[in-house]
A = this chain, B = another copy of it.
Amino acid sequence: MTDEAQSAGSREKILEVAEALFARRGFAGVGLREVAETAGLGKSSLFHHFRSKVQLYFDVLGRALGRIEARLLPTLAGGGEPMARLDRAVDTMIDSLAEQPATARLLLRSIFEDDDFAPDPIPEAEPAERALEAMIAGLEALLRDGVTCGAFRPVSARHMVQTLIGATVYHFASGDFGEQLVGGSLFSADEVRRRKDEVKSLLHHGLAATAPVPTGG
């Protein structure tokens, strides 16, 4: 019996299984019957907890973004040299994405699927959007600070944010392809540590203002 799970936290259970399913197959690829069945409920019961499929999707998305935001913003707000702060931010981002294997793919898909809903503003999406914007703004500010105070090379903060997202979110969203590429689970403790080291060392060498420039072409 799973009585306690059913009576106490049906809403949480739905969010959990929906997160995994939306991450794996996307908004259009998941049916509410499957969500309900996986959660151990009838389909009608979903509508008792969520107004619509769109509402469920954005609640799932906002919940995932909120989890990361709650860890990343304090990290960004902490003091220290820009490079040390960036290191901590990378560690936090990668930890957050690695601990919940569905999250990275859900987030990356959401970047695409937002265009889908594009015609209307979609009020349900606002909490998720605000969390995302806060994190992006924090990362951008950190990079800009590092450049203006001379700790970083004069890179474009915006482009570097894109590169950071690619190096973290994309990596942990790459699924079977990524696992075939690196030759093992992306989410094992070893591989997660390895990813952190690779990203941070690339930033140490590639972003710091100290090194001379050996441009040949």
Contacts and interface: CB of A to CB of B under 8 A. Distances in A.
B176 A115 contact: yes
A181 B28 contact: no
Stoichiometry, copies per complex: 2
A73 to B, nearest CB: 18
A195 B165 CA distance: 15
A25 B118 CA distance: 11
A165 B159 CA distance: 15
Contacts of A28: 25-26, 28-29
Contacts of A41: none
A204 interface: yes
Interface stretch (A2-10, A46-54, A59-67, A206-214): A206-214
A32 interface: no
A161 B199 CA distance: 12
B198 A155 contact: yes
Q: In the complex, which range does the number of interface residues on chain A fall in?
A: 35 or more
Interface in A8-65: 24-29
Contacts of A24: 115-116
A203 B205 CA distance: 9
Given A84-B216, A163-B167, 6 more contacts: A112-B175, A115-B175, A160-B198, A166-B171, A208-B214, A211-B211
